[in-house]
């Protein structure tokens, strides 16, 4: 069992998966901003470094979700994923307790992969 605050943190990382995926693709396709050429400006920026850091953060979170999802048996994977990400009901092909058990494990594995437990 995860503490409530940690559970909520992991839940929202998982629910944010689709947005992160879109942002990752968007960052990859963005070109760096043009230099302004303002003389005397003391602000140092590294757009490429900032982009790399953001990509690494997003990639790490997406990888944690993907790897944890792969540990769930194939027949329960989509039901657990849809329940966590979108709040949909579990499919009727297995008992709800079975799905809840796999959901708990999934959440725990994501937390483990993110190294927050």
Residue in this structure with the two tokens 């008992």, named with its chain if needed: 95
Q: What is the pLDDT of residues 32-67, one digit of tens each?
A: 666 555 665 566 677 888 899 999 999 999 999 999
pLDDT, residue 34, reads 60
Domain of residue 85 covers: 4-28+47-113
Does some domain include residue 101? yes
What is the tally of structural domains in the chain?
1
pLDDT, residue 41, reads 59
pLDDT, residue 23, reads 95
Does some domain include residue 34? no
Does some domain include residue 93? yes
Does some domain include residue 33? no
Does some domain include residue 36? no
Does some domain include residue 40? no
Does some domain include residue 109? yes
Does some domain include residue 39? no
């Amino acid at each position: 069992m995860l503490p409530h605050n940690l559970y909520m943190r992991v839940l929202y990382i998982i629910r944010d998966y689709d947005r992160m995926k879109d942002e990752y693709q968007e960052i990859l396709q963005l070109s760096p901003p043009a230099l302004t050429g303002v003389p005397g400006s003391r602000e140092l920026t590294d757009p490429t470094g900032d982009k790399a850091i953001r990509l690494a953060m997003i990639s790490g979170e997406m990888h944690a979700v993907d790897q944890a999802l792969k540990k769930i048996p194939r027949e329960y994977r989509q039901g657990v994923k849809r329940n966590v990400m979108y709040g949909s009901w579990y499919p009727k092909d297995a008992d709800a307790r079975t799905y809840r058990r796999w959901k708990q494990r999934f959440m725990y594995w994501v937390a483990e992969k993110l190294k927050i437990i």
